[in-house]
Amino acid sequence: MVDIPADTGLAARRPSRLEGLRALARSNIYFAIASIVVALFILSATFAPLVSPHPPLDQDMAAFMSPPLTENHILGTDSFGRDLLARTIYGARYALAIGFGAVLIGALGGLIVGVAAGLSGGVTEWALMRFIDALLALPSLIMAIAFISILGQGVDKVILAVGVALIGPFSRTVRADVLQVKAQAFVEAAGLMGVKRLAIIWRHILPNVIFPLAVQATIRVSYAVLVSSGLSFLGIGVAPPTPDWGLMIAEGRSFVSFAPWIAGVPGTALAILLIALSIVGDGVREHFDPKLRKQG
Amino acid sequence: MSTAPIFRLLDVQKAYDIDAKGGALFNRAKRRLRALDGVRLSLAPGESLAIVGESGSGKTTLLRVLLGLTHPTDGRALFREKDIASLDGVDRDRFCREVAMIYQDARGSLNPRMSVLDLIAEPLDHHKLCTKSERRDRVAALMSRVGLSPAMMSRYVSALSGGQLRRVAIARALASEPSVLVADEAVSGLDVSTQAQILKLLRDLQREMGLSLLFITHDLGVAAYLCDRIAVMYLGRVVEAGLTREVLKAPAHPYTRALLNASPRFFAPISDPLPGEVPSPIDLPPGCRFAGRCVRARDDCQKSEPALTPASPTRMFACFHPLAS
Amino acid sequence: MKPLDLGTARASTMLPAALGGRIEPAAGTEPLLKVEGLSLTRGESLILDEVAFSLRRGATLGLLGESGAGKSTIALALIGLLRKPEVGLSGTITLDGEGDVVDAPEKAWLKLRGRRVAMIFQDASAALNPCFTIGRQIMTPLRRVLGLGRSAARVRAIELLESVGLNDAPSRLSAYPHQLSGGMQQRVMIAIALSSNPDLLLADEPTSALDVTIQAQIIRLILEETRRRSASCIFVLHDLALASQCCDDVVVLYGGQVVETGPSRIVLGAPMHPYTQALKGCVLEFDTEELEPLPSGAPSFASKAPGCRFADRCARALDKCAATKPPLVATRGRKLACWNPLP
């Protein structure tokens, strides 16, 4: 009778993602702080009507262009008398919605194109590779501008434009992952078992590609937020009077010498969010990537 | 159950064309790399055969031909007397079910996103060998058979040790109720104690279930323990084949003798090493491919290639001047 | 490389015992290397637990064990690649002429490495830099460590390559590592390691990645070259049969503890520790009928765990084995750490 080995003391189950991240937060203080900051932004954006002291579009002309720490307006008001804290909180909504929305579109599009490019061969692969090259040749901002000019302004158009601009980078990483997974022994083993090609893609290749893609997506959110703010700053993103940070910075540009807070408050908020998102994204990537290499 | 051989290789050749290096720009002369150069082999039902060779011997290519992953450029590779390269439909399904492979890289051959249960059940599901309700029980039975506690079924690859992964791979191979197990260096890279466990498991399984076993290895000790028959390969050809005990006790081919001498044995003095290295398989000179390194080579060895000739019903070798038995 | 004629050489004292010669240790000399009470901690784990052994000049020693036993860790500590503060290190490593080097600073190790202690690794293709030619990799230590000029270094490099059996040495100098086979790469690594005539060569699984016929060539090369320079050699091996062939003395490790040590003929010929016996039983000879594998398990490296780490897998374990660590005592020609050894 064959010996049944005792438990060798290895993990009873794969440690859940959350546990891993919690451990990461404990060891890296920056990651912990950054996660809290991002969480605060997300929470205040979600519960904006409850958190914000004023509605974002309310104009208090009596207190227009007041500096921060004025009574009733902690962060001051802009040239229309609108409370800056309120607009910043609501601006977080737009920033995060656009950021996550665009990344979702980009990741989905990148997944389709990348998987097709990685699995096809011959002329199809060549054509798809050239398509991806074309997408990558244009900087994301330029491409987003081009799409806006076709689609017009507005929050949904910005999401679409930035999203499409992100398809290029995503498809490149997805294709690389697909090629790597395709070469693994377990894919060949499934083929030897007689499993049909589509089943192999669905059961073996996709699950191993989705996860690295998700990690990539968390890193790219900050970039998407930056691009969309850039579009709004240039005046071709969302339309006024939407409380978008890029738009607010643009509006405050003319007053920067004597009322710097009008551009400063949204600018600072944007900077903080971007830094925090980058740190969180980096932490997630570092935490999962070495394991990805081992697993994938 | 027929007694026809399960696998038969008839003068199988697998050649690759290599572009000539360093030639003139328009010199399109191609050189041939013969990974397999006329291999003759068969595997009977219930038989265990070890294919032994070093790097460059062609054993990996041989395996790929047997599994249908690559097609021979000449000669025929047969599974149950049908060409492996042209199997399709019902025959192909039968082939996939009956031939189960155990990889050298056990960890790489198991999808890291699937639980042990799903990994072992994949052949069951694919070949529709049991109902949904029986699935768990079947997997548990397979796991016990290979010495794994069924409680581990919910685990993932990253939580298992090397030895446990090999067992999972073996359990998965057994799931399709195969008639042939093909293993490519299935125990290399393991600690000796784990290796001993896995080897014992494989031998017990093979004997109890009457499976045919084709085991590729570079280790003669493993071949001796596990397999009744052995085939020694050198540069794409079988140079000696026969019953393992006989071949290892009294090798006829000088290369087999050199392999024996080089295998570490307790307190034996370190052997006179085989001079030189394995030559490049591209553009081999005429004559016996081993002549360049053989201490017994004579003039006729450089002129023509010795064929694999049977010396007895169970023994054959390819040498003009074999060692005396 | 000419095959060595063992007939006439057997009686000669030129060869190490493994090749049929006899070593006569010079009377009254200090051992080249003496390791005492070497313990290594990494975080909470006690990776090495009071390892002790010594090495005579001109002798070969084998560090034996399975993966995780600590053999490579010891080798890295012996060449100063594992030091405080990355790891906690206690005990003594006494190199003849240098004193205790356990606490030696990096500056001191820079002088020792290459000159007195050299190391070759398992995977030569990973140990050689793929960006530089072989010539550059051999000549760099010759010029930096030995201070040779360019043309002198080139001449010496060619000599070294020829001495390790690489024919056509001048053209090899301009080759890149990937253009050589595994066996040839390993020879290059040996040439580099021996270029400054170290007293101690550490060989960490030097042949595990090579074919078995090349393995014999490389082992012989290492033995002959170290013998020629009157150097000592420590092999890190997992193959007991190979160790019996090429090592004068062996140290058997389990879970970072020395379980048995002594002349290889005695330890491997008539083992007294259950682990050594079990390991030996797992080695396949051509006529092995039955295998009796060890029960599964892995040693625990918890620093607080007392006792012999093999106790939970040992068929001969007594109650005291898990409670108290057996000391290493001299018994029947070897040193043994076991409360219930084989009779």
Q: pLDDT tens digits for A279-294?
A: 888 888 877 765 544 4
Report DSSP state, residue B238. Answer: E
Is B127 among the domain residues?
Answer: yes
Sign of CA dihedral C266, C270, C273, C278: positive
Predicted confidence at residue C260, as pLDDT, reads: 94
pLDDT at A271 over 90: yes
Q: Provide mean pLDDT across the span C15-41.
A: 65
Predicted confidence at residue C295, as pLDDT, reads: 81
C 17-46 → B contacts, CB under 8 A: 18-20
Q: Could you say which of C244, C282, C294 has the minimum Cβ distance to residue B266?
A: C244
* pLDDT bucket at B325, cuts 50 / 70 / 90: low
Helix, strand or coil for residue B192? helix
Q: pLDDT tens digits for A212-228?
A: 898 888 889 999 999 98
Give the DSSP letter string of B76-91.
Answer: EEEETTEEGGG--HHH
Sign of CA dihedral B174, B176, B182, B187: negative
- Following CA atoms A8, A14, A17, A23 in sequence, which dihedral angle do they give, to the nearest 10 degrees? 0
Predicted confidence at residue C292, as pLDDT, reads: 79
pLDDT at A1 over 60: no
Give the DSSP letter string of B151-177.
Answer: GGGG-BGGGS-HHHHHHHHHHHHHHT-
AA identity, residue B252 = A
Percent of chain C with pLDDT over 70: 92
* pLDDT bucket at C23, cuts 50 / 70 / 90: very low
Predicted confidence at residue C274, as pLDDT, reads: 93
Q: Could you say which of B67, B112, B154 has the minimum Cβ distance to residue A295?
A: B112
Is B177 among the domain residues?
Answer: yes
* pLDDT bucket at C137, cuts 50 / 70 / 90: very high
Q: pLDDT tens digits for C174-187?
A: 999 998 888 889 99
ipTM of this complex prediction, to 2 decimal places? 0.84
Mean pLDDT lowest among A23-37, A38-52, B74-88, B173-187 = A23-37
Chain A contact for B157, CB < 8 A?
yes
Q: Could you say which of A3, A192, A195 has the minimum Cβ distance to residue B67?
A: A192
Say yes or no for a CB contact (<8 Å) between A5 and C296.
Answer: yes
Chain B contact for C266, CB < 8 A?
no
Give B160 to chain A, closest Cα distance, Å.
Answer: 7
Say yes or no for a CB contact (<8 Å) between A5 and B105.
Answer: no
Chain A contact for B103, CB < 8 A?
yes
Report DSSP state, residue C290. Answer: -
Q: Which of A151-160, B163-172, B271-280 has the highest mean pLDDT?
A: B163-172
Number of domains in chain B: 1
Contact between residue A193 and residue B173 where contact means Cβ atoms under 8 Å apart: no
Predicted confidence at residue A83, as pLDDT, reads: 86
Chain C contact for B195, CB < 8 A?
yes
The two structure tokens encoding residue C147: 């201070």
Q: Which domains does chain A have, with CATH numbers?
A: 79-295 (1.10.3720.10)
Percent of chain B with pLDDT over 70: 95
d(CA B4, CA B212): 12
Predicted confidence at residue B27, as pLDDT, reads: 54
Is B174 among the domain residues?
Answer: yes
Closest listed residue to residue B190, CA positions, set B165, B218, B162: B162
Predicted confidence at residue C14, as pLDDT, reads: 40
Q: Provide mean pLDDT across the span B18-35.
A: 66
d(CA B92, CA B114): 26
Q: Provide mean pLDDT across the span A155-169.
A: 90
Q: Answer with the residue of higher pLDDT: A96 or C4.
A: A96
Instruction: Tell me which chain B residue has its CA closest to the CA of residue A211.
Output: B113
pLDDT at C62 over 50: yes
- What's the predicted TM-score (pTM) here? 0.82
AA identity, residue A34 = A
Is B322 among the domain residues?
Answer: no
Q: Which domain holds residue B38?
A: 7-317
Percent of chain C with pLDDT over 90: 37
**What's the first-to-final CA gap in chain B, in angstroms?**
36
Predicted confidence at residue C270, as pLDDT, reads: 93
Q: pLDDT tens digits for B43-68?
A: 999 999 999 998 888 898 999 999 99
Contacts of B202 (CB under 8 A, 6+ apart): B170, B181, B183, B186, B213, B215, B226
- Read off the CATH number of the domain in which B195 is found: 3.40.50.300
Predicted confidence at residue C254, as pLDDT, reads: 92
The per-residue pLDDT of chain C, averaged, comes to: 85
* pLDDT bucket at C133, cuts 50 / 70 / 90: very high
Which chain C residues are closer than 8 Å to A6 by Cβ?
Answer: 295-297
Say yes or no for a CB contact (<8 Å) between A5 and C297.
Answer: yes
Give me the residue label for tokens 């084949």. Answer: B241
- Following CA atoms A238, A241, A242, A243 in sequence, which dihedral angle do they give, to the nearest 10 degrees? 120
Chain A contact for C282, CB < 8 A?
no
Q: For chain C, list the strands marked E by DSSP.
A: 33-42, 45-55, 60-64, 88-95, 99-100, 117-120, 200-204, 232-237, 249-254, 257-263, 329-331, 334-336
Determine which of B52, B207, B277, B293 to mutate to test the interface with C (most C C-beta atoms within 10 Å). B277
Predicted confidence at residue A11, as pLDDT, reads: 34
Q: pLDDT tens digits for A172-220?
A: 999 999 999 999 999 999 999 888 889 999 999 999 999 889 888 888 9
Predicted confidence at residue B29, as pLDDT, reads: 61
Predicted confidence at residue A141, as pLDDT, reads: 85
Q: Provide mean pLDDT across the span C93-120.
A: 87
* pLDDT bucket at C97, cuts 50 / 70 / 90: confident
Three-class secondary structure assignment of B265-306? CCCCCCCCCCCCCCCCCECCCCCCCCHHHCCCCCHHHHHCCC
